[in-house]
Structure 1
C-alpha cells in the first residue's frame, strides 16, 4: 500500500490510565493536588527570590527561571490530563497534539541545558570565587539562558516536524496521557526508522552533552571541596550543590530511561509511569528540594515568614 492511498487521521484518542470511574476520580484528585503544589511551590520560589536579595545572585537567577520552566512544563501536560480523567472519550485534535509535543519538547530540552548552566555556575563560584563576579555577569547569565531556550526550540522543531511528517492512518489511540513522541511513533503507518533514530540521537546528544558538562563541573567542585581543611567549610560549600545534584539525578535519570534507549519505544506501561515522574512529579519536587537543602533559601523563607507575622 502506498502512502498516497492512506487517509491521515484528524484526531487522536489519549488512552491515559485505564480503570473504573472511581479509579479515574482518585487519580484526578491526586494529580490535581500535585499540580496545585507545583504551582504554589514554583510561584512561591519565584516570588521569594525576586523579593529578596537572592535575586542578585546568578545561582538564584537560574533557579527562578527553572521554577518558571517547571510551571510551563507541567502546565502544557497536566491540565489536559486532568480534563481527560473526567471525560469518557479523551480526544485531542491533530494540531493540538503537535502543539503540545512542541511545547513539551522545547521546555524539557531547555530544562536540561539550564541544569547544566547551573552546574557551570556552581563550578565557577566554588573553584574560581575571585573571578566569579567577572565571569558570571548579568549579561553572561542572560546569554546562557537565551542559549538554553534557543536549543530547546530547535530541538522541538526537529522532533515535532519529524514526527508529524509521518502518516497516521489508524488506529489513532495513543497509549499515553499526552502526545509523547515514542507513543506516537508506534502509531505511524509509514516507515518511522529515521524518526526513531533522530529521537535517539538528538536525545542522547542532549543528555550526554549536558551530563559531560555536569560531571566535569562537579569533578572540579569535588576536588576543590576536598582541599578545604575545615570539615565545617567542606559541608557548607558542598551543601550549596546538594540540592542541584538531587534535581539533576531525578531529571536526567528519568529522561535517560525514557528516551536514550534504542529499544525503549517498545515498553508501553513502564513508559507511562516513568513519564509521570518527569512531567508531574519532578516539577512539584524541585521547589521542595531547593528549599529544604539550601540554607540561603531557608533563611530567606524564614525572613519572609517573620515579616508576615510582624505585619499581622
Structure 2
C-alpha cells in the first residue's frame, strides 16, 4: 500500500486547510460521505472499514478527517469552473446565467449532473442520456427560462473556431475539448452537437462519476474519490426525471433542513438499502452499473416530489432515497479500498 498511500496522504494533507465554497445541496453530498464512513465503522463485518482505517493511518490522519476530505470532494463538484456557454451573437463565454443564484443553475457545470430515465439512449451512444432540453419529458420554468436565455448559445471550445457574429469570441475554457471529452467515456461526439443550447445532449452523470473513479483507480487520491461521490445526485429524483425546475431547489433544501430531525440517515434503512445495488468486480474500475441502479431507484420511487411540497410526501421519498444514497456511497468506498 505504500506508494499509493503516499499519494493519498499528500493530497489529504494539502486539503486539510481548505474551506467549503458556498443538487442535493452541497453540504448534503458531504454528509452522505460522512454518514457512509460512520456506517462502515459500525458495521466492519460487512464493509471494508478495516482497509479504510489502514489507509487513513498510513496517510497520518484520522478516519474522521479522511471522511471529511472525501466529503469535501463530493461537495466541490458543484463549484467546478469547467463549463462555459458562449453567446450566439456576442461570443461572450460565461460560467453561469446572471439569474442563476436564485435557481438550481448556479454554474453551467450542473448540466452534466443528470441521467434521464424518462428516455432511452442518446446521441452519444449512452444507454441513458443526460440533460437535453429538446428531449425533456418533464420541464418547468427554470428549464424554459434557460432555453430561452441561451437559445443558439454554444459550448466554449477554446481555439476550436466557434464564434459569435462577426468573429467575436471571448473564450474562457476548452469545455468541449476537456470537460466533454472527459465525460464522453467511449461514446461518440461531434462539436455540432454543442452549437445550440436548446439541443445540446449533455453527457450523463454516470460518465462523470466513471471518469473520476477511473482517475482514482489509476492514481488514488482523496480528491478524485470525492469527486466520484457527487454521483449521489442520482438519488435526487429531479436528476433522473431530469428537470431544473418543478420544486428542484425546494426539495433539496428540505432534505438538508430535515436530515437530522427526521433521521433520514437511519442505520437500519441504510443496511436494507445496501442489498438493492449490484455487485461489482473487485479488480475493475467500472462502476456505472452501480450508479445507474441508484438512478433507477430515485426515478421509480421519487417522482412525487416534482409535484408535491407536502411534508409527508417528501418524507416518504427521503426515507428511500437518502439511505440509498448513503448505501451507494458505502458500496463505492468498499470497492475503492480494493485498490490498496
TM-score, structure 2 normalization: 0.25
Normalized per residue, the structure richer in helix is 1
**Which has the higher relative contact order, 1 or 2, with Cα contacts under 8 A spaced 6 or more apart?**
1
TM-score, structure 1 normalization: 0.27
